[in-house]
């Protein structure tokens, strides 16, 4: 492989700018049965919380035209279990180890951050945007001033590179991203899923027990791309772009819109080897167009 | 891509598709099937009805967008099979009951066949429940020692769980739950294995949308199951 795809994000070197998105790839074990996951530039862990969570009841996935809605509800084994069972393996891989952390109170976030401070990892991706946790995950990511306070407190406590994962449901995603930058975040990633709804006509009830769920997949790509473009132009910290990327062409679009790294999520369910196809396609595109490094086309629009 | 050898209509809603595929599929496992490029977005988890080393067959019910596409496929068409996935039913011998409801009868054919092959001395009794018309009864009769068919009623009424060493079931969750409760109430000692059919997305254990909250903690239907003990799935309700 050439160095065409090599990318530096907030001082962390990615051999290519393609990561698997949090919540779609567990801790990397399952996809490793399909391809050597060390072909990836990075891997975002399943969203962790301080304590283990069983996740939501009822139906957790619903297909839509060109997308899916999910309501998993941050099912995860908790930070401590992750450290004991998965962290060493993730660190031993030749890729950027991105640990995703969620929470439903400031205290929980801070305790988890402090536990993780004692361990090696490459980037901490802070989820302030999961729409599934009734206790308030949504709120942190919706209002700029609430997000600012969370980022401020966590920045003070966190020794790791800190990337804030933004919700497209934010009141003003550009001002929220700027607040993250002002409070010392090393980068932002966007977008998480769009709050959505489905109704079961037979039961005359919402499909999901939580009423609303998160929409992802190619259906959201044009909107996520627009948001990445707006945010990348408004902040000077690097942006990880995600939201419906399902081809190498989509990935190049996000790079042109200003993303430094891209993440693939739902599209891995269409084809578990998709991330490798995207990496290969990007490499080929650069080669055929005489582009020495992705940075030549990053943010050109 | 694998070549479709047959795709035959069995009853109004049910089809049987035979696909050329080298495999080591065992009873109760499933494949993720896909016969399109991008949409519908998700592949469809379908359990193995029958398999030999070179072919896999799927008995499926047409219920939505994906299976509507499957039913139009002709022999010679291609389909992507990813699998086999899941743990499948355990090996067993002695007096065995297999209880199926609706499309849940599908994995029980290979199960009966494999159990009889491995243990000629075992007795395999099948109880098959259908809401509409019965199907493939001749095939099931050839695989098992006896087949009891129930159309329109409750197949769980037909079985005396105390007569068996092990019971395996696949069907609507409510049917499997009723069977579990019946086993408990009559004091059956046979372990009851249930095959869960929760909605799935990735099919490989990564996305956690098919989680079953069991007495032994959360389990992924696709990776830790689909076969679980009835007592862990329904025991804490």
Between the alpha carbon of residue A293 and those of residues A28, A96, A206, the distances in Å are: 27, 19, 48
The β-bridge relationship of strands A212-216 and A239-241 is: unpaired
Tokens of A215: 């929409």
Question: Could you report the per-residue pLDDT of B9-29, keeping only the tens digit for each?
Answer: 999 999 999 999 999 999 999
pLDDT band, very low/low/confident/very high, at A138 (cuts 50, 70, 90): low
Q: Work out the pLDDT band at A105, boundaries 50, 70, 90.
A: confident
pLDDT in tens, A237-250: 999 999 999 999 99
Residue B75, pLDDT above cutoff 60:
yes
Backbone angles phi, psi at B87, to 5 degrees: -85, -35
Please state which of the ranges A10-24, A67-81, A128-142, B143-157 shows the lowest mean pLDDT.
Answer: A128-142
What are the structural domain ranges in chain A? 7-55+74-193+219-296
A103, pLDDT greater than 90: no
Residue A240 DSSP label: E
pLDDT digits (tens, 9 = 90+) for A282-298: 999 999 999 999 999 99
- How would residue B83 be classed by pLDDT, with cut points 50, 70 and 90? very high
Q: Parallel, antiparallel, or unpaired: how do β-strands A67-70 and A12-14 relate?
A: unpaired
**Mean pLDDT, chain A, whole residue set:** 95
Under 8 Å between Cβ of B74 and B7: yes
Rounded to the nearest 10 degrees, what angle do helices A106-117 and A144-157 cross at?
A: 30
Percentage of chain A lying above the pLDDT 90 cut: 91
In the sheet that B192-195 helps form, which strands lie side by side, from edge to edge? Answer: B146-151, B123-130, B95-101, B166-170, B192-195, B227-229
Residues of A6-19 as b/e, b for ≥16 C-beta within 10 angstroms?
bbebbebebbbbbb
B21 SS3 class? coil
> What's the pLDDT tens digit per position in B47-61?
999 999 999 999 999
Chain A interface test: which of B207, B210, B217, B236 (most A C-beta within 10 Å):
B207
In this complex, the residue of A54, A59, A270 whose CB is nearest that of residue B41 is A270
Q: What letters, b where the CB count within 10 A reaches 16 and e where it falls short, cover B39-73? A: bbbbbbbbbbbbbeeebbbbbbbbeeebbebbbeb
Spacing of C-alpha B134 from chain mean position: 16
Tens digit of each residue's pLDDT (9 = 90 or more) over B104-152? 999 999 999 999 999 999 999 999 999 989 999 999 999 999 999 999 9
pLDDT reading at A132 higher than 80: no
* A95, A40 Cβ separation under 8 angstroms: yes
Q: Provide the shortest C-alpha distance from residue A144 to chain B (in Å).
A: 30
pLDDT the model gives residue A98: 98
The per-residue pLDDT for A61 is 97
Q: Please report, for chain B, the start and end positions of each structural domain, with discontinuous segments joined by +.
A: 2-85, 89-195, 196-237
What was the pLDDT predicted at A168? 96
Q: Is the pLDDT of residue A130 over 60?
A: no
Cis before residue A134, ω within 30 degrees of 0? no
Cβ–Cβ of A269/B38 closer than 8 Å? no
Specify the residue for token string 């804490």.
B236
Q: Which of A25, A44, A130, A180 is catalytic?
A: A130
Handedness of CA A3, A6, A12, A18 (dihedral sign): negative
pLDDT digits (tens, 9 = 90+) for A198-227: 999 999 999 999 999 999 999 999 999 999
Distance CA B117, CA B131 (A): 30
- Tokens, residue B69: 């596409």
Cβ of B202 within 8 Å of Cβ of A70? The answer is no
Residue in chain B closest to A45 (alpha carbons) equals B206
Superfamily of domain B196-237: Dihydroorotate dehydrogenase, electron transfer subunit (2.10.240.10)
Largest Cα–Cα separation, chain A: 57
Architecture label for domain A7-55+74-193+219-296: Alpha-Beta Barrel (3.20)
> A133 vs B156, which has greater pLDDT?
B156
Superfamily of domain B2-85: Translation factors (2.40.30.10)
> Between chain A and chain B, how many beta carbons pairs sit less than 8 Å apart?
82
Query: Does the pLDDT at position A80 exceed 60?
Result: yes
What's the complex ipTM?
Answer: 0.92
Res A134 pLDDT > 70: no
The reply to whether omega before A88 is within 30° of 0 (cis) is no
A65/B39 Cβ within 8 A: yes
Helix (H, G, I), strand (E, B) or coil at A64: strand
pLDDT given at position A193: 96
Return d(Cα B61, Cα B39) in angstroms, integer.
19
CA distance B5 to chain A (A): 24
Could you list the beta-strand ranges (E) of A151-284.
161-165, 187-190, 194-197, 199-200, 205-206, 212-216, 239-241, 261-264
Containing A113, the helix (H) or strand (E) segment is: helix A106-117
Give the sign of the dihedral formed by CA A30, CA A33, CA A37, CA A39: negative
Q: Has A130 been annotated as catalytic?
A: yes
- What dotted CATH number matches B89-195? 3.40.50.80
Q: What is the pLDDT of residue B235?
A: 87
| pLDDT score of A131 more than 70 | no
């Amino acid at each position: 492989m050439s160095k065409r795809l090599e990318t530096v994000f907030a001082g962390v070197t990615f051999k290519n700018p393609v990561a698997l998105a949090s919540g779609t790839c567990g801790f990397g074990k399952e996809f490793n049965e399909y391809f050597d996951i060390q072909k990836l530039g990075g891997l975002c862990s399943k969203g962790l919380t301080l304590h283990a969570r069983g996740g939501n009841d009822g139906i957790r996935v619903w297909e839509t035209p060109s997308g899916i809605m999910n309501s998993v509800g941050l099912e995860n084994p908790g930070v401590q279990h992750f450290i004991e069972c998965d962290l060493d393996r993730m660190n031993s891989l030749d890729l950027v180890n991105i640990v995703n952390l969620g929470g439903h109170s400031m205290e929980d976030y801070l305790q988890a951050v402090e536990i993780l401070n004692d361990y090696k990892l490459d980037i901490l991706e802070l989820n302030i945007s999961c729409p599934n946790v009734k206790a308030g995950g949504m709120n942190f990511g919706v209002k700029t001033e609430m997000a600012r306070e969370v980022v401020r407190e966590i920045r003070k406590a966190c020794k790791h590179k800190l990337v804030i994962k933004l919700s497209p449901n934010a009141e003003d995603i550009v001002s929220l991203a700027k607040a993250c930058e002002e409070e010392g975040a090393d980068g932002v990633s966007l977008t998480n899923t769009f709050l959505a709804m489905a109704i079961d006509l037979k039961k005359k009830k919402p499909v999901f027990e939580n009423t609303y769920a998160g929409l992802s997949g190619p259906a959201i790509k044009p909107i996520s791309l627009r948001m990445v473009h707006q945010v990348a132009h408004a902040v000077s910290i690097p942006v990880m772009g995600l939201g419906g990327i399902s081809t190498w062409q989509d990935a190049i679009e996000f790079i042109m819109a200003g993303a430094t790294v891209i993440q693939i999520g739902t599209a891995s369910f269409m084809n578990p080897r998709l991330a490798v196809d995207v990496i290969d396609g990007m490499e080929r595109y650069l080669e055929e167009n005489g582009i020495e490094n992705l940075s030549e086309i990053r943010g050109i629009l | 891509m694998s070549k479709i050898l047959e795709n035959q209509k069995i009853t109004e809603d049910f089809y049987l598709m035979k696909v050329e595929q080298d495999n080591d599929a065992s009873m109760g496992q499933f494949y993720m099937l896909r016969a399109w490029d991008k949409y519908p977005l998700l592949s469809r988890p379908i359990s193995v009805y029958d398999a030999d080393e070179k072919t896999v067959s799927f008995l499926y019910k047409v219920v939505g967008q994906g299976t509507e596409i499957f039913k139009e496929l002709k022999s010679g068409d291609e389909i992507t099979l990813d699998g086999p996935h899941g743990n499948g039913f355990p090996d067993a011998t002695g007096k065995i009951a297999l209880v199926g409801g609706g499309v849940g009868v599908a994995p029980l054919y290979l199960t009966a066949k494999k159990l009889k092959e491995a243990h000629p001395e075992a007795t395999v009794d099948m109880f098959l429940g259908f809401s509409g018309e019965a199907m493939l009864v001749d095939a099931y009769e050839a695989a098992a020692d006896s087949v009891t068919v129930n159309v329109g009623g409750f197949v769980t009424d037909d079985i005396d769980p105390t007569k068996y060493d092990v019971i395996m079931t696949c069907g609507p969750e409510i049917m499997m739950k009723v069977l579990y409760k019946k086993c408990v109430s009559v004091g059956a000692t046979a372990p009851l294995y249930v095959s869960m059919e929760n909605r799935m997305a990735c099919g490989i254990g990564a996305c956690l949308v098919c989680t079953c909250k069991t007495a032994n903690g959360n389990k992924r239907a696709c990776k830790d199951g689909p076969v679980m003990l009835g007592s862990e799935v329904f025991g804490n309700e």
